[in-house]
């Protein structure tokens, strides 16, 4: 007999789940977003929105082709010692805006286990204020590691307050270890 699945309660939406980390065991820098947006979730790729500046900035800083195939871009990041992940494992959020994340539904990723498996990480770079806030509130109190934390301007097209050049300058300093 097939079991009936009830829809989400009124006012609730289906939870979104983030991606697995992209990291080699010797990664030195971890770039954290909050939760992938709709375009990224649909394509199952980090920073897939065509106007997100992450890939052009990372490519310019680390010296690879921003238009390369996604697996090649991931390999270039990994070769540079950069890992990608998100603060949240799952949450409810209509759309892509960080401001719409329902705080009563969020579940952070397991950073204690991740950092234990990646002991060379010395710096965590937050891609935007929401990632930094979520990490500091929901993850940092559970960690014992002493790391360098870098708050960076969001590469999201929703964050137009900072110019590309300002973002590039901040990211250039942070990604080079």
Task: Sketch the domain layout of the chain as residue ranges.
Answer: 17-175
What is the per-residue pLDDT across 75-123, written as a single tens digit (0 to 9) for each?
A: 999 999 999 999 999 887 776 666 667 778 899 999 999 999 999 999 9
- pLDDT of residue 6 exceeding 90, the answer is no
For the cut 60, the answer to whether the pLDDT of residue 154 exceeds it is yes
CA nearest to 155, candidates 135, 176, 177, 175:
175
**pLDDT over threshold 80, residue 158:** no
pTM for the model stands at 0.89
More confident residue, 18 or 2: 18
- What is the model's pLDDT at position 57? 98
Rounded-to-integer distance, Cα 62 and Cα 177, Å: 11
Q: Higher pLDDT residue, 2 or 152?
A: 152
Rounded CA-CA distance 37/8 in Å is 21
In total, the chain counts a number of residues equal to 177
Q: Which fold has domain 17-175?
A: Uracil-DNA Glycosylase, subunit E (3.40.470)
Name every residue whose Cβ is closer than 8 Å to that of residue 54 and which is 6 or more positions away in sequence.
46, 47, 127, 155
Taking the C-alpha atoms of residue 19 and residue 22, their distance in angstroms, rounded to an integer, is: 9
pLDDT tens sequence across 39-88: 898 999 999 999 999 999 999 999 999 999 999 999 999 999 999 999 99
* Residue 163: DSSP 8-state: -
Phi/psi of residue 89, nearest 5 degrees: -85, -40
């Amino acid at each position: 007999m097939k079991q009936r699945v009830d829809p989400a309660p009124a006012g609730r939406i289906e939870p979104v789940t983030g991606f697995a980390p992209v990291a080699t065991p010797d990664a030195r820098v971890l770039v954290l977003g909050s939760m992938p947006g709709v375009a990224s979730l649909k394509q199952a790729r980090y920073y897939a929105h065509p106007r997100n500046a992450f890939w052009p900035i990372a490519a310019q800083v680390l010296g690879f082709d921003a238009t390369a195939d996604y697996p090649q871009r991931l390999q270039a990041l990994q070769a540079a010692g950069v890992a990608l992940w998100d603060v949240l494992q799952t949450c409810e959020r209509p759309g892509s805006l960080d401001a719409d994340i329902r705080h009563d539904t969020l579940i952070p990723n397991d950073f204690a286990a991740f950092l234990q498996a990646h002991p060379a990480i010395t710096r965590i770079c937050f891609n935007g204020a929401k990632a930094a806030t979520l990490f500091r509130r929901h993850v940092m109190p559970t960690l014992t590691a002493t790391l360098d934390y870098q708050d960076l301007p969001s590469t999201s097209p929703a964050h137009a307050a900072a110019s590309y050049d300002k973002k590039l300058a901040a990211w250039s300093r942070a990604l080079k270890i």
